[in-house]
Amino acid sequence: MAGGSGTRLWPASNSSLPKQFLPLPGGGTFFGASLERAFYLLESGNPGQPGATAVKAMAGTEGKIVVVAGAAHVAHVLRECKKLSAARRSRVVVIPEPVARNTAPAVACAAVYLERSAGAGRRALILTSDHIIGPLDRFRDDAEAADQAATLGKLVVFGIPPRNPETGFGYLEAGAALDFTSFAGTARLFKLDSFHEKPDRTTAESYVASGKFYWNSGMFGFSVDAMLGEFRRSSPETLAPFETLRTPTRGESQDQDGLTLLDRWKGLTEAYTTVKPISIDYAVAEKTRDAAMVAASFDWIDIGSWDDYAQYMERTQQASRSPVPDTAAPAATPVFNVESTNCWVDSDLPVALCGVDDLIVVVRSGADGSPPSVLVCHRGESQKVKNIVDQIKSGGRPDLL
């Protein structure tokens, strides 16, 4: 899934260039990194082990990667995919969403495509395009655990062991352990007792103290047949517009440097304009009767705010033994500093700081055609950017987003 506008990282992330296409340390983008993860699953495995080929089947049609993204962002998707080898590009299918409708319609659309294109029996893995995950061999082991549970018809969600009582994530309550051990002996599979909405601080602290709760990563593994069945049972109104779609013909897609852009699929626009927006959690996951959870052994970071982004960039610089000055910037844009400490600057214009501490400063000059904009906030307060975005919307300036 490569949709969304990523407004929590405004103004660098906006409707024209959302978070998933922003740069990462060392080059590449969030979306590019998610492609690498997907191809790692397709191209690696544990030879001779029973799950080695199973993971490859999880990406859908003969090991293909299906990218669901907003039509306005297809150009960014294609630009990233052009960096792939010809062999990899041939395994990518891009489905442009005519309008944004949250995650459940995106999953329903992809599931219908897989069922129409590949027939019954396929399994799929939903990956998000704005997370940081590693190491990849542990991720593969956990994906293999999810795949084995998916073969039994279970809807499998990846749970992240909580590092702190975070109030910005939903939680998963794990039940009894299921009989599975990964090849590396690291993945743990549990019955999933329940989903829980984002808690208040006291509730989050009780969740973490119990040892039975995990952060909801938003990543799922499933049999396509089982997922379609869950939609029919729990959210038929979400699936119905997409069930009218037929197997796409060659004339309903176009070749883009070797990958398939499914931008002429008959009925797709009508399906998206008909369906109501709803998340996959609300539509299906929270209502399923047969869910399992993989307790992730991999590292997982959700860059949900400028504080998260600044901390990640600083940790990455330290890990690479690069010097981290009192006031840092992620690019070559000059930052001039007089008696200022613990400030993070992300700007495409030179910035000067004098006698200030603990600030995050984000500047976009508008050189790329978007409106010029500046964000200044205190470190630790960047979650309030969502309130700024609400003010911009209510103030009649959607052009700034």
Residue-wise pLDDT tens digits, 212-248: 999 999 999 999 999 999 999 999 999 999 999 999 9
Boundary residue ending a domain (271, 302, 333): 302
Residue 382, CB half-sphere, CA atoms under 13 Å: how many?
25
pLDDT, position 323: 44
Query: Same structural domain for residues 250 and 337?
Result: no
Query: Same structural domain for residues 23 and 72?
Result: yes
143, part of any domain: yes
Average pLDDT over residues 198-220: 95
Please provide the average confidence, as pLDDT, over all residues in the chain: 87
Query: Same structural domain for residues 66 and 205?
Result: yes
**Identity of residue 63:** G
Residue among 1, 77, 12, 2 nearest 310 (CA):
12
82, part of any domain: yes
Query: Same structural domain for residues 260 and 335?
Result: no
> Total domain count for the chain?
2
Average pLDDT over residues 331-335: 74
Boundary residue ending a domain (268, 302, 336): 302
Lowest mean pLDDT among 11-15, 42-46, 344-348, 374-378: 42-46
Query: Same structural domain for residues 290 and 341?
Result: no
Q: ∠ CA 343-347-349 to the nearest 5 degrees?
A: 120
Query: pLDDT by residue (tens digit) across 270-320?
Result: 999 999 999 999 999 999 988 999 999 999 988 888 998 898 888 877 766
Identify the CATH number of the domain in which residue 160 sits: 3.90.550.10
Query: Same structural domain for residues 294 and 366?
Result: no
Boundary residue ending a domain (302, 336, 353): 302
Give the gyration radius of the chain's Cα atoms. 22
Query: pLDDT by residue (tens digit) across 86-104?
Result: 999 999 999 999 999 999 9
Query: pLDDT by residue (tens digit) across 157-182?
Result: 999 999 999 888 899 999 998 876 54
d(CA 136, CA 37): 7
46, part of any domain: yes
Average pLDDT over residues 115-144: 89
90, part of any domain: yes
Q: Comparing 238 with 396, which gets the higher pLDDT?
A: 238
Query: Same structural domain for residues 297 and 332?
Result: no
311, part of any domain: no
Query: Same structural domain for residues 165 and 209?
Result: yes
Query: Same structural domain for residues 276 and 335?
Result: no
384, part of any domain: yes
Query: Same structural domain for residues 201 and 343?
Result: no
pLDDT, position 359: 97
Query: Same structural domain for residues 274 and 336?
Result: no
Full domain range(s) for residue 364: 323-400
Query: Same structural domain for residues 292 and 338?
Result: no
Per the DSSP assignment, residues forming a β-bridge with 353 are 337
103-119 in b/e form (b: 16+ CB < 10 A) is: bbbbbbbbbbbbbbbbe
Q: Which pTM value belongs to this model?
A: 0.86
Average pLDDT over residues 108-132: 90
Per the DSSP assignment, residues forming a β-bridge with 59 are 124
313, part of any domain: no
308, part of any domain: no
pLDDT, position 330: 55
